[in-house]
Amino acid sequence: QVQLVESGGGLVQAGGSLRLSCAASGRPISSYAMGWFRQVPGKDREFVAAITFRGDIQYYADSVKGRFFISRDNAKRTVYLQMNSLKPEDTAVYYCGGSSLWNKVLQRECDYWGQGTQVTVSS
């Protein structure tokens, strides 16, 4: 089992930056692809970014490409999401998730999920 805990969310003005962290406990995440997702009330959870277990490949949703950057430190069992040039439409609860299969992360079918952290971007 893997437990995931997100942190780093908060209130920020448009154009600002935040860095989210996802700390893992239990089994090491070094063999898991990891991703970040977001959800607003009344809508499905949306894919944001994913990273392979080695960290050598990253993949982003078009809506965040060039503004958000995913990274990981397997020694620290932590995955990060650096969010720059934030927009009000980035407001959501952000979740991290993981799976041993890359495609499951891309398809929002993670085996493990965190509880989420709220990000609010004011205009």
pLDDT of residue 1: 87
Q: Hey, is 105 helix, strand or coil?
A: helix
pLDDT of residue 28: 86
pLDDT at 54 over 90: yes
Radius of gyration for the alpha carbons in the chain, expressed in angstroms and rounded: 13
Write the burial class of residue 57 (CB in 10 Å: 0-12 exposed, 13-18 middle, 19+ buried): exposed
Q: Hey, is 40 helix, strand or coil?
A: coil
pLDDT at 36 over 90: yes
Alpha-carbon distance of 8 to 20, in angstroms, equals 5
pLDDT confidence bin for 32, thresholds 50/70/90: very high
Alpha-carbon distance of 104 to 88, in angstroms, equals 28
